[in-house]
């Protein structure tokens, strides 16, 4: 076998391995694969309706302070799935209706909101993980803060950062106020009864 055909054979083997690895890492729902780049409706068709959805936008500014400035909105959705106690929960992140990323979370729950220990929640977990453990909050409030990051070449990225406050009342214990920044738990405050 000459050097050229040997390299071609190696390339074919490498591509086959990459394709097999890609399928192994893809999410399977009802026997069907959900892959990066799939449309949002394909994800819902294959996996069903998520138990929790976060929605927000990011704006890309091109030609900032130039005679012509263009702002493009990128819509982002994070979908959360609970497949039960023997499977890992999953988060599918869609940008502009296309699957951008899949995240694996901890093991799922037999029923949402049944494993709530507010004192065990750690900063950094997502709103979807809190809903899986504790259910939806008794009360909530949302505010927005604008953040602009400039690259010095006339381009910028504007993000609207969502600040959420959720209040939980569990049995006779003092209520807790959970504060989230962009869908991530930032702090927990014990409130008076």
Cα separation, 166 vs 56, in Å, equals 18
Residue carrying the six token digits 């809190």: 130
| Nearest alpha-carbon partner for 137 in 173, 177, 171, 110 | 177
pTM of the model: 0.76
Q: What confidence tier does 28 reach under pLDDT thresholds 50, 70, 90? A: confident
Going by the DSSP 8-state scheme, the letter that residue 100 receives in this structure is E
pLDDT of the residue at 80: 96
pLDDT of 192 reads 82
Query: For residue 76, what are the CA distances in angstroms to 1, 41, 182?
Result: 50, 14, 12
User: Average pLDDT of 57-75?
Assistant: 85
| pLDDT single digits (tens) 108-164 | 999 998 888 888 899 999 999 999 999 999 999 999 888 888 888 888 888 888 899
């Amino acid at each position: 076998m000459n050097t050229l055909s040997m390299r071609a054979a190696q390339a074919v083997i490498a591509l086959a391995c990459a394709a097999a690895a890609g399928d192994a890492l893809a999410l399977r729902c009802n026997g069907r694969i959900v892959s990066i780049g799939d449309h949002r409706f394909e994800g819902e068709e294959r996996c069903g309706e998520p138990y929790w959805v976060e929605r927000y936008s990011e704006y890309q500014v091109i030609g900032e302070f130039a005679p012509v400035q263009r702002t493009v909105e990128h819509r982002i959705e994070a979908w959360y799935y609970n497949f039960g106690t023997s499977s890992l929960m999953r988060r599918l992140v869609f940008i502009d209706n296309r699957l951008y990323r899949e995240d694996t979370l901890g093991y799922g729950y037999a029923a949402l909101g049944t494993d709530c220990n507010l004192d065990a929640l750690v900063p950094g977990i997502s709103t979807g993980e809190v809903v899986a453990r504790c259910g939806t909050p008794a009360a909530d409030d949302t505010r927005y803060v604008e953040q602009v990051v400039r690259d010095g070449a006339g381009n910028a990225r504007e993000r609207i950062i969502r600040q959420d406050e959720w209040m939980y009342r569990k049995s006779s214990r003092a209520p807790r106020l959970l504060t989230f920044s962009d869908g991530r738990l930032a702090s927990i405050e014990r409130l008076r009864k």
